[in-house]
Structure 1
Amino acid sequence: MTEDDITRHIIDSLGGGQFVVADDNTFFFHGADNKFPFATIVTKDDDFDSASKLNRLGVFRLNVGVGKETFRALFGEPDEASIANVDYAALDTLMPHPMYGKMHWVSVINPSSKTFEKVKPLLTEARSLAAARDKSK
């Protein structure tokens, strides 16, 4: 899967949202306020987030904000123990987000089509959670 494939899927399948590209990263939002993305595609390391080694040629990370129960079902409690032994640079592996795992974000670096099939319901959930948050405002 490419960044464009993923962006197309999110926009086409989860209609009603929008995306913003900033500094070569893509942020997907439910509403028009562009405040809290439900998913992102990040293409490079920065000072506070370099565990994924995104500065490798052609590497990007898809990040998705899921619900607490979904995160727990995938990885257990989002504590130090559950995230300590993760290889955050592994390709095509669903994992807790290296910085925001404690906030129930999941990540996958360069997902294959097969792995992306597993991510699709997580994107749907993330979009639904964002819609519910927007509605409750």
Structure 2
Amino acid sequence: MNAALLTVLMAAAGTALLAFVGFRLGLSVDRRIKDNSEVVKAVQAHSGLQAEFDVLISHNQRSAVACGTDKMGYVVTVLGDKLLVRSLDQAKIMVIAEDRLHISFPDFGFEPVYIQANANEIQQALASLGRGTST
């Protein structure tokens, strides 16, 4: 009798904990990148550089590419309520349509980043990174 009651109470506590965690994660689902300056500040904080960057933000405002003047690039993605900054040094960038980029990383556990933006802005970003042709 006591074991059954203990099992029910533990199941209820586990369900309540999962509901609380799901609720907390659900609050940050709508996080979006606000503007170019937010991306530049995140990249500068990550890299320690005070250089200026050209920024390409995806239409859904959940990812961005920051291109430096020396063909250095970073991808910024929304992860919960934080911004994750990754260097594009070893990233594989594929153009899957003229207005869409697919960026993948060799590290296990990091999902690919999809960027959909204006086709001209994507071409400029690729040229800044030395991976495309400038027009």
Q: Which TM bucket (shorter chain)?
A: under 0.3
* Structure with max Cα Rg: 2
Q: Which has the higher contact order (CA 8 A, sep 6+)?
A: 1
More strand by share: 2
